[in-house]
Amino acid sequence: MTTRIGLISDVHASPIPLLQALKIFENNKVSEIICAGDIAGYFDFFDQTVELLQQYHCKTIIGNHDQSCIQSLTAEPVSQQLQFLKGLPETLQFEFENKKIFVVHANPPSSQHGGIKLLDQNGELIPRQKKFWEKELEDFDYDVLIVGHTHQVYAEQLGHVLVINPGSTQFNHSCMILSLPDLTVQTFALENRSIEKSWNFSLLHKGVNRIPARKH
């Protein structure tokens, strides 16, 4: 039996690429959808984004932008969508097809900052980073580690752990499907865009993925 799991992260209140990823998962008949955090941030469609995650029953953790959003709350009552954020866990653990899976936004045990950066700005693997994280994860008691935060797209075997970052649906234009028990990963491009394997704010100076002005 094969179990397929849809993987997304760093959706940043941008529902259009998120919905496309969810439709890809629906068409591929995934059993579960996991979102590795950062629901909020940058864009102005937070409510719609949360509603999509709820509609598709996504298993979601909290990210650093979500924590910042919660900490900025000053008014009552809190909306249903912000209540959703407040109820998110820092990590998730699953077992499918005898494979143990751990989900965290940045890196274990429960960090939402820093993250597992394996790629350079051109999307090429950095060997010293791979060796560093292989060492860090030597005692990690899971088969699969799913992370987000860094806006990098990769699925790398680091020692006994398969580390997966599906990238940001908004900035990397990517999502993934993990198949178990064979541990194969498919990567899908979103919005008819090329996948940016490694995205950071320096790309804005090149006119790539420019963030629109916020509404007032």
pLDDT digits (tens, 9 = 90+) for 38-85: 999 888 899 999 999 999 999 999 999 999 988 886 566 667 888 899
d(C-alpha 111, C-alpha 119), whole Å: 19
Query: Quick check: 199 and 215 in contact, CB under 8 A?
Result: no
Confidence label for 137 from pLDDT (cuts 50, 70 and 90): very high
> Residues 177, 179, 181, CA angle at the centre, nearest 5°?
160
Place of tokens 């498919």: 186
Which pair of tokens denotes residue 123?
Answer: 């999307």
- Domain spans in the chain, listed from the N-terminal domain onward: 3-205
State the pTM of this model: 0.90
| Averaged pLDDT for residues 86-100 | 96
Name which of 94, 108, 215, 87 is nearest 158 in CA terms. Answer: 108
> Residue 203 has what pLDDT?
54
| Averaged pLDDT for residues 135-160 | 97
> Residue 211 has what pLDDT?
40
Instruction: Determine whether 77 is exposed, middle or buried from the number of CB atoms within 10 Å of its CB (0-12, 13-18, 19+).
Output: exposed
Other residues' Cβ atoms within 10 Å of the Cβ of residue 104: 26
CATH homologous superfamily for the domain 3-205:
Metallo-dependent phosphatases (3.60.21.10)
The gap from C-alpha 200 to its chain's centroid, in whole angstroms, comes to 15
The better pLDDT of the pair 2, 214 is held by: 2
The better pLDDT of the pair 11, 80 is held by: 11
Measured CA to CA in angstroms, residue 105 lies from 34, 172, 181, 216 at distances of: 11, 16, 23, 30
> Residue 212 has what pLDDT?
40
> Residue 54 has what pLDDT?
96
**Whether pLDDT at 216 is above 50:** no
